[in-house]
Structure 1
C-alpha cells in the first residue's frame, strides 16, 4: 500500500502495510489462532444480559479504572494477585502499546528474539521506540548466553519475551526468564497470550512476579476464553507499574460494554476453558500426524502448530486455499502455521494437505 504524496503521513509510515491476516471466505479458517468453540447459549445469554444492563447506562462514562473487572481477573489468575496489580485494555495489543508508550519512546530501545509476534516491531515503530531483534536457536528456543549478551550490550528499556511464542508455539523455562531478568536494566514483558494451552508441567511467569518488580506478564481473553470479538487483554505487574500505565491510557479507554462482556465471560470460566483440554489433545495429534509424514514440527504449547519446510510455501498455502482451507503463511521462510480447529476442520486440513503435498 502506498499513501498518496499529498497525505502528510509520517515518512516511515508511507509505504507500510496495515497489519492483518488474510480474510478469505473459505469453509475452514485456521489462520488466526481463534478458539473454534464459541460460548454456550447459557454463557452467551448471561453475557447478553450483562451488556443489556450496561446499555441502560450508556449515557454515562464507564468506570475508567475497570475495578470490578480487575478484581475478577486477579481472582482468575491467582498467585495472590489483587486488583491493583492487574490492568486491562482493548486486547493485549493495546496493553503492549501502552507499555511502550510508558516505558519506550524516542531514545529508548525495545528488544525481542525472532521469529516472534510480528506486531512487536509495529508497536515500536508507532511509539518511536528503537527496535532490536536477536535470533532464536534453530529449535526456536532462546539461546540464553546469546540473549544475555545481547541484553547486556543493548541495555534495552523493554524486553519482550513471548511464552508460548507466536508463531512457533515454543514456551520458555523459568531459568531462561530469570537469566534475562537478572541482566535486563528495564522492563521485561512476558507475553502469555496462549498460556492456558501450555502442556502440563509448563510453568507460568506469574510465579516470578513476587521477586521481580520490573516483570510484566500479559494475557488475553481472545484465545482460551473464546472472546476474540470481545477485545479484552490484561496484565499482571507491580502496582507501581500499573500506575505508570494509567498515566498513558486514554480517558475511559475500556467501554462499559467491553467490561460487562468480560465480566460475564469470567462468570463462566469453567465452561469456556473446558474445551482447552480438547484443543491441546487435537494440537498434539496434529503435530504427531505431521511428523509422521516427514514434516519438521515445532514443539508447541499454544493452540497452533508451525510446520515445514517447503521450498515454495506460498504454493502450498495457495493449494490449501483452493481446497477450502485457510492457514497462515507466517514465520521463518519455508514454514506454515495451522491453528487448531474442531476435529472436522482438522480432518479437512489433513485431506487438503495430502492432496497438495510438499512443493
Structure 2
C-alpha cells in the first residue's frame, strides 16, 4: 500500500476549487459584489461579540432561533420543523447524500450541472449517474423519467437555476420527477433562487404536494454572506429528522448562528441590490448575443456564454487584461459572474479586445 493510505478511488484527484488569482476584476465564483453596509456590519459585530461571551459552552445544536428565522424568511407556510441548516449548502448536500445515499444506492442528476455533485456522491460512497440536458440546457422530461426508472436513484439532484448554465426548471418538471422517484428524495438546489426572473416559480410552492421534495438555499449569494458559510433546506420534518442522524455534533457554531440571525434581521437591505444585478445580468445576456455569441438563458447571477474554438485562450486573454471568469461547463463555453457596473464594463471591454485579437 502506498503512503498515505488514501482510498484508491481518490488517488490522483485534485481538490475542488476555482482559480484564486490576484486580478482587479474577479467574476468567477458567483459572489454578490456588494458587501454589507456599515450598519449591517455593526449589527453582525454586536451579535458576534455577544456570542463570544458564550464560547465556553456548546452552541444550540438545534439552532432553534435560526430555524424559526429562516422559516419566516422563506414563507410559503414553511415551519421551523421543516428547516435544517449547515455550513454552506455544500454541507447540506453532503449530509443529504450521507443520509439517503451510500453503498448500493444511486444519486442522479443531468449534465452539465454543478461539478461538486459527483464529489458529494463519491464522498458518501454513492453511485453517480448523470443524464444529459438538451442543447438549450433544458430537460427532456420523457428522457429524464426514463433515466429515473432505469436507475431508481435514492437521491435526485436538480439545481434550479442550474450551475453553470443558469437555467431554471418549470414546476411541472419538479413534480414529474418527484412522482417518478417514488420513495427517493428529489433535491431542488435553489442556491441562486433569489435571482430568478419574474414569473419563474420556486420549488417551495410544491413542498405541500411532495413529501420527498427538498429545497435547498444559501446565504452566500443573494445575501452577500459567502464568508459566513450558511446553507439551509426546507423539507418534510421527517427528512430533517433523518439528517440529524448523520450531522456532526454541534455542527453549526454559535458565531455562525449569530451572524446568520443578524443578517436575516437586515434581509431587505442585504437583498436590496438583487434587482439591480438581475437587470445587469439581462443586459450582459443581450450584449453577448449582440457580439454573435451563444448565451444560455439565465435566472442566476451569472451567464454562460460561448462557443469558442479555444476557450482557454479566451480565458487567458481576459486574465491578461485583469478580468477573471470561470472556465467551466461544456467545451467551448465560459461563465461570468455579474459584478458591479464598473466590473462588467471592464469585462465587456476586455472580451471585445480578446475577440478582435482572435479574428
- TM-score normalized with structure 1 length: 0.98
1:125 aligns with 2:122: yes
Alignment match of 2:81 (pick from 76, 79, 84): 84
For residue 29 of structure 1, what is the aligned residue in structure 2? 26
CA RMSD for the aligned pairs? 0.8
**Secondary structure of 1:5's partner?**
coil
* CA distance in structure 2 between the partners assigned to 1:135 and 1:188 by the alignment: 17
Provide Cα deviations, 1:141-185, integer angstroms capped at 9, x if missing partner. 011110011001111010001100000000000011111111103
**Secondary structure of 2:273's partner?**
helix
Provide Cα deviations, 1:269-288, integer angstroms capped at 9, x if missing partner. 00000000000000000000
Provide Cα deviations, 1:41-81, integer angstroms capped at 9, x if missing partner. 00010001000000011000000001100000000000111
Alignment match of 1:273 (pick from 266, 271, 280): 271
For residue 102 of structure 1, what is the aligned residue in structure 2? 99
The Cα of 1:298 is off from its aligned counterpart by 0.1
1:355 aligns with 2:349: no
* CA distance in structure 2 between the partners assigned to 1:6 and 1:76 by the alignment: 49
For residue 299 of structure 1, what is the aligned residue in structure 2? 297
Alignment match of 2:208 (pick from 192, 206, 210): 210
Alignment match of 1:60 (pick from 54, 57, 60): 57
- TM-score normalized with structure 2 length: 0.98
Structure 1 residue runs of 5 or longer lacking an equivalent are none
For residue 156 of structure 2, what is the aligned residue in structure 1? 159
The Cα of 1:6 is off from its aligned counterpart by 1.5
For residue 311 of structure 2, what is the aligned residue in structure 1? 313
* CA distance in structure 2 between the partners assigned to 1:152 and 1:204 by the alignment: 25
1:182 aligns with 2:179: yes
* CA distance in structure 2 between the partners assigned to 1:275 and 1:67 by the alignment: 29
**Secondary structure of 1:229's partner?**
coil
* CA distance in structure 2 between the partners assigned to 1:184 and 1:6 by the alignment: 41
For residue 243 of structure 1, what is the aligned residue in structure 2? 241
The Cα of 1:82 is off from its aligned counterpart by 1.0
* CA distance in structure 2 between the partners assigned to 1:176 and 1:249 by the alignment: 30
For residue 264 of structure 1, what is the aligned residue in structure 2? 262
The Cα of 1:5 is off from its aligned counterpart by 3.2
* CA distance in structure 2 between the partners assigned to 1:236 and 1:95 by the alignment: 11
* Matched length: 356
* CA distance in structure 1 between the partners assigned to 2:202 and 2:267 by the alignment: 18
For residue 112 of structure 2, what is the aligned residue in structure 1? 115
* CA distance in structure 1 between the partners assigned to 2:254 and 2:160 by the alignment: 30
**Secondary structure of 2:187's partner?**
strand
Provide Cα deviations, 1:327-347, integer angstroms capped at 9, x if missing partner. 000000000000000000000
For residue 287 of structure 1, what is the aligned residue in structure 2? 285
Provide Cα deviations, 1:254-280, integer angstroms capped at 9, x if missing partner. 000000000000000000000000000
1:199 aligns with 2:197: yes
